[in-house]
Chains A and B, each alone.
Chain A
Amino acid sequence: MMNIFKINPLRKRQFVGLVLGLIIGGTIFFILTLDVSEKYVSIGPMNTGHNDISCITCHADARGNLVQQVQSNISHAFGFRKNGVDFGTKDVTVDNCLNCHDRPNDRHPTYRFSEPRFSDAIKVIDATTCITCHKEHHGERVSVPSMDYCMNCHQELDVEDDPLDISHVSLIKAKQWTTCIQCHDFHGNHKYEVATKLKDTFAKITIQKYFQGGYDPYGTDKKYTGLLESEWLEKLSEK
């Protein structure tokens, strides 16, 4: 009977390979879970301002261990439980972003775009979620393909006593939609003097570089700044 658990000499090489594989795999797995390895695990460089935050800031561990998560999701798939569960880490949502970036002065908060009248606009650009414009792990600040997104909601803008030398109405009529962002920061958090002459507005290339993570033409004077990881942790402990 003991013979059935005995390794066939011809399979010894396979057995050694298996053991070696387990040791090497286990070591790699262990190294990759260390804090110092985070930048190698990340799927891309962190966006502007996020270089000093660790994975756990957004990717919190999901409830239960991996086996429990597999079991729960199989049970859910076969209809034995009401809800499935997150696997590995919790899904990253708008709430993760707002934990550090929520501001009372946000002129375009994500929740506003859940109103039915924005249903057509959000089909073009889904402003109900941060990652539409701020895709993480791209090493940049804003990740929209074009700067003309204001056109999706502001077609009927008409500014009374327009302070701009070329009126907003004329710019909209001429479909100069990239000019909006050359004056106005989308979230309205910078403190700066808005230009009154089109020639004094920020150049398109300057804004493009800013989107890519470069110099901030709207200035560094902001009413609110995002929380540092230490501040976020402190906020969590207060809850």
Chain B
Amino acid sequence: MVKNIKLLLSEVVFLSVVSFTLVSCGGVAEESTESDAEENIFSVDQVLEMVSKENDVTRTLYTKAIVGQGKLQGMKFDEDWQKDDVEAGPLPALFLRGVATSIRRSPVPLGLYLGSDYPVNSANKFQGKQAELFEKIKENQDPQYFYDEEQKVHTAMFADLASAGACVSCHNAHPQTPKTDWKLGDVMGATTWQYPKDSLSYGETIAVLNSYAKGTIDIYMQYLDEIENFKNSEKPIIGDKWPAEGNYVPTAEVFLDSVRKLASYETMNKLMAAK
């Protein structure tokens, strides 16, 4: 009898200690983000379309007003612009790569890539699903959306158009180009965007747009730093003037300010309507 009580008591004490230990300290607090409390009001497709439009305006401004006009002033732009012995700015494709790199450093899980069926660098040629969807984009320039099962991300592709004379002239004349008859307005490639969630809150949407804007500033600042380190080339004057006015480039603030003026009207409308 005593033996049974002893056994029972031991079990009770053991279970009590285990239960107390497991429950009393309360566990690790759930990681919650501000967005958990917010309602998801945009589909991922809507958000990717918004940020893609910001990208269109930014890249067109950079290509036309910085690269196109800059070249007329004798400024140099090169795919090897980051090499120490090259004193030049980033070409538009590399500008986008810089934005994408900056986005990846941010906490926003947004992916951005640029590709084509006739890329200057053959490693950037679309394959598989992207090649298939790019054929549709070339037909009517409509965006294409799909869910990438392998990476578990929502993916959208948007036409990347020859929007400036510099796109056409540089690509046609590039020694590595596989195509020499590009024309203004051609679908030269497509941007591919990825995001893991199917819908986003207002806060998450703003974070996506901000991460893109910050990416623009980061790569543009790198370009200005490159200019500061020119040793053998004439340095453009960095200020509030643009290359169209002479040997000038705008500061990052002036550049982003112009992007905002050009880009945000449609995006702002959508954001305001949702609010």
Contact = CB atoms under 8 A, between A and B. Distances in A.
Which 8 A/B pairs are nearest by Cβ-Cβ distance?
A64-B28, A72-B27, A117-B127, A111-B104, A160-B175, A71-B27, A115-B113, A4-B6
A15 B6 CA distance: 17
B31 interface: yes
B192 A74 contact: no
A158 B128 CA distance: 21
Interface string B48-84: 0000000000000000000000000000000000101
A19 interface: no
Interface of A: 3-4, 63-65, 67-72, 74-75, 81-83, 85, 98, 102, 104-105, 109, 111-112, 114-117, 119-120, 153-154, 156-161, 191, 223
Contacts of B151: 114, 116, 119
B37 interface: no
Contacts of A157: 122-123
Given A115-B113, A154-B123, A109 B104 contact: yes
A7 B56 CA distance: 81
Contacts of A85: 28
B44 to A, nearest CB: 16
Contacts of B98: 104
Interface string B98-140: 1011001100000101010000001101111111000000000
A75 to B, nearest CB: 6
Contacts of B125: 117, 156
Nearest to B155: A116
Given A4-B5, A116-B130, A161-B175, A111 B100 contact: yes
Given A112-B113, A116-B129, A72 B122 contact: no
Interface residues of B, number: 43
B16 interface: no
A120 to B, nearest CB: 7
Contacts of B111: 111, 114-115
Contact of A104 (B6, B29, B101): B101
A90 to B, nearest CB: 12
B125 to A, nearest CB: 7
A116 B112 CA distance: 11
A68 B26 contact: yes
A75 B27 contact: yes
Given A72-B27, A157-B123, 14 more contacts: A3-B2, A4-B2, A4-B6, A4-B9, A63-B29, A67-B22, A71-B25, A111-B100, A114-B153, A115-B113, A120-B127, A154-B122, A154-B123, A191-B84
Contacts of B21: 67
Contacts of B115: 115, 117
A113 B116 CA distance: 16
Nearest to B36: A82
A109 B100 CA distance: 11
13 contacts: A64-B27, A64-B28, A67-B21, A68-B28, A71-B22, A82-B30, A83-B31, A111-B100, A116-B151, A116-B192, A117-B130, A157-B123, A161-B175
B31 A109 contact: no
Contacts of A81: 27, 30
Contact of B25 (A65, A109, A159): A65
Given A71-B27, A104-B98, A156-B122, A114 B194 contact: yes
A117 B111 CA distance: 13
A67 B111 CA distance: 37
A4 B12 CA distance: 14
B141 interface: no
Given A75-B27, A104-B101, A117 B222 contact: no
Interface string B24-46: 01111111000000000000000
Contacts of B28: 63-64, 68-69, 71-72, 85
A180 B101 CA distance: 25
B27 A68 contact: yes
Interface in B154-205: 155, 175-176, 192, 194
Contacts of B100: 111
